[in-house]
Structure 1
């Protein structure tokens, strides 16, 4: 069975969402279904159908999260000795060699990726090009419109 890498923070976020879904959202929807049933004819009861649809979404999300947690490999970057190499969970500052634009990314698991928060997936083209490289290395990233050269300015294990 394949294990999927996840940061400690990512695991905590998923566990918190799972807890909320099981203890708050699921009971609320069950109460909504019971209340809608009291209104009578279920065939034409929009509240009932909406609550059932929401229940299906919640149950599906619970199963999804439980599956992800059971197949995850939680990696605590703080426990790995700092080697200067880009690893899963590290924060990397890279400079576009053509434009001198600097950007900081944290390499995280697929479920944790959020480009707006500068967290990129381990399976993204940039992360795949960076993994295993060191500060000062130049990497070439293949993107749909061609290639881009980046220089690794700094690697942080935070």
Structure 2
């Protein structure tokens, strides 16, 4: 069966991502930071390039983060530029989450996450995707459940 939301890399399935917006945003904020660094403009004594650190950091995190499902080892791992941030076994899954997200009462899409039990501690969640339509999010969740079973 063909995977609509995952790309297969040997025994791992990696969530497909749309990277155009984060790459463009990173380029815009990096160019603004470099321009204000070269230009030397200040705002109340603070150089303008300081205001670009937060967006650059957020979009760099978003670009480097991915989720991998390893069907042989039966693990789900969250990686950032190849460094494993967290790894959980399939048997630690407590529930699947489909969350409607809003910003100031305006629909901002749906998030798909999986919650894992962590040795009697609090549940930890890994967000797999943020999709614009509920039907697409439900299809993504169904494909994720099919891969994990």
Same fold, TM-score > 0.5, yes or no: no
The structure richer in helix per residue is 1
Q: Which has the higher contact order (CA 8 A, sep 6+)?
A: 1
The TM-score normalised by the length of structure 1 is 0.35
The TM-score normalised by the length of structure 2 is 0.37
The structure richer in strand per residue is 2
Q: Which has the larger radius of gyration?
A: 1
